[in-house]
Amino acid sequence: MQTFAVHPFEAAENAQAIRQDLRAFLAEHQPQDDPVRRANCWTEFDPAFSKALGAAGYIGMLWPENYGGHERGPLERYIVLEELLAAGAPVGAHWIADRQTGPLLLRYGTEGQREKYLPGFAAGTMYACIGLSEPGSGSDLASVRTSARRTDNGWVINGQKVWTTGAHISHAMLALVRSEEGSERQAGLSQFLIDLDLPGVTIRPIIDMFGTHHFNEVFFEDVEIPHGALVGAEGEGWKQATAELALERSGPERYLSSHALLVELIDSAGPDAPPEVVATVGRLVSEMWTLRQMSMSVAAKLAGGEDPAVEASIVKDLGNTFEQELPLAIQAVVDADLADDTVLAKLLATLLQVSPSFSLRGGTREILRGIIARGLGLR
């Protein structure tokens, strides 16, 4: 039976220098306008910040230099991500392109696709979104109905995607669609990189209960795309998409979405905090540290070329549970009026409202536990 195999994370020799340089960059470039933006910061869109981050060499860190990358090590990149998220930097605009779309193009894309998109992604001036979920499908990606019909000039896309984060600011969508008529479930699916300014593409906002706009519906009506928009092999979309998801399930964003609130609690409580606050901080920090070790272990495995799908799913499930319980645990020990104008009250009110959605993105809890059960030989 497979279990969570811990892999040593050998920090880069220059780890401390990387942290110091990035903290200096953040002191100069991180917006200080609204402290609430530090919560759940990897969904905060700030194109100016992304452009500055790209110019400083912190996007596309692993990619070849001829595509605008910087050929740094994967564990160096992990340190950068951890620092950005711990600081609450607004990294949402470029996040998907840097984390998923770029690496997928390097693995499966054509030379033309890499030359067209990667330099802009690395510069922090071009963004991408992921087209997976569809109406009526929930997290069951195998029930995709959006179709691609082959023509002499390329493909014609028809259908709809929903809950698409950042589509309204993105230049392209990496979409999973059914390219083989009459196929079912995981068969007959392909991935296409679709420019979102093409005729026939309509993007409509979905405003969440907090009044913010991250999600979208995206409609495709007879959208014509060239043959060169196919990513990887025709009919191999399911395999490619699941490999893509492995990249997003174990990173530090899976346990740091509520981190700004914990930091604010520690700062506001001071050295003479009540015992119940001290006990809560101690418990939360110890849990976060354990998750960090697990996440770093998965990062080290990925860096070594392994496919830790089960371990990544465990990190995401436990990490999302931690992120969702953190604001509830803090609310239980502080006397905070959520209508107050203090930073602590604002962060707490925000995370109490948005944290229930954390376990939906990147695969629901039910999907993840199914993957874990299969990995353990239980189904």
CB 218 within 8 A of CB 167: yes
Q: Compute the distance between CA of residue 130 and CA of residue 194 in angstroms, rounded to an integer.
A: 10
**Which member of 248, 253, 264, 323 is catalytic?**
248
Q: What are phi and psi of 254, to 5 degrees?
A: -85, -5
CB 160 within 8 A of CB 217: yes
The pair of three-digit structure tokens given for residue 282, joined into one six-digit string:
């101690």
The DSSP line for 204-225 is EEEE-TTS-EEEEEEEEEEEEE
Burial class (CB in 10 A: 0-12, 13-18, 19+), 171: middle
Q: What are phi and psi of 96, to 5 degrees?
A: -65, -45
Q: Measured in Å, how far apart are the chain's first and last C-alpha atoms?
A: 12
Q: Which helix (H) or strand (E) holds 316?
A: helix 309-331
Amino acid at 157: I
Active site residue 248: yes
CB 257 within 8 A of CB 358: yes
Q: How many CA atoms lie within 13 A of 106 on its CB side?
A: 23
Crossing angle, helix 259-269 and helix 74-87, to 10 degrees? Answer: 50
Task: Give the catalytic positions in this structure.
Answer: 248
